[in-house]
Amino acid sequence: MHRRAYLASVGGAIAATSGCFGLFEGDYDVGMSPTDFEPQTLTVEAGTEVVWKNTSSRGHTVTAYENAIPADAAYFATGGFESQAAARDAWNTLGEDGIIGPGQTFSYTFEIPGRYEYFCIPHESEKMFGSVVVEE
């Protein structure tokens, strides 16, 4: 069974029993708590679109570490920045550029196998890191 179809079927059952706890608020692969990506590491097949959802009340970013993604992979970051430096500069000069607000999502399709490390710019000092492992 496809992972999202499975999650949708179990998510409905869990949501029905969790009620106002808000454990499942939609179709996403990685949630964002106040200072964590959940799960911290996700393994997917090449060609998979991964969806991050801000499930907290704080703003977050998904920003790849340039030196911690496969050499042939395209860079990714919320805000559409083409480099880690550009994402940091925009955050520092424009303030909150590239932010994912509460309830918002960001998606990226992983085509190249390998390990992709990423972080949240405003919560990097709080060790808000994540990774996606892409298998063939």
Q: What is the C-alpha to C-alpha distance for residues 3 and 71, in angstroms, rounded to an integer?
A: 27
Tokens of 93: 């000069």
Please report, for the domain that includes residue 73, its CATH number. Answer: 2.60.40.420
Q: What is the C-alpha to C-alpha distance for residues 17 and 27, in angstroms, rounded to an integer?
A: 17
Give the closest residue to 56 by CA, choosing from 86, 6, 8, 22: 22
**12, part of any domain:** no
**19, part of any domain:** no
Q: Can you name the residues that pair with 37 across neighbouring β-strands? A: 32
**4, part of any domain:** no
**16, part of any domain:** no
**14, part of any domain:** no
**7, part of any domain:** no
Q: What is the C-alpha to C-alpha distance for residues 55 and 21, in angstroms, rounded to an integer?
A: 11
**96, part of any domain:** yes
* Number of independent structural domains in the chain: 1
**8, part of any domain:** no
- In three-state secondary structure terms, 59 is coil
Domain containing residue 112:
26-135
Q: In a structure prediction context, what are the per-residue pLDDT tens digits for the chain, which is 136 residues long?
A: 344 433 343 333 333 333 333 444 568 999 999 999 999 999 999 999 999 999 999 999 999 999 999 999 999 999 999 999 999 999 888 776 789 999 999 999 999 999 999 999 999 999 999 999 999 9
Q: Is 91 exposed, middle or buried (0-12, 13-18, 19+ CB in 10 A)?
A: buried
Q: What is the C-alpha to C-alpha distance for residues 72 and 63, in angstroms, rounded to an integer?
A: 17
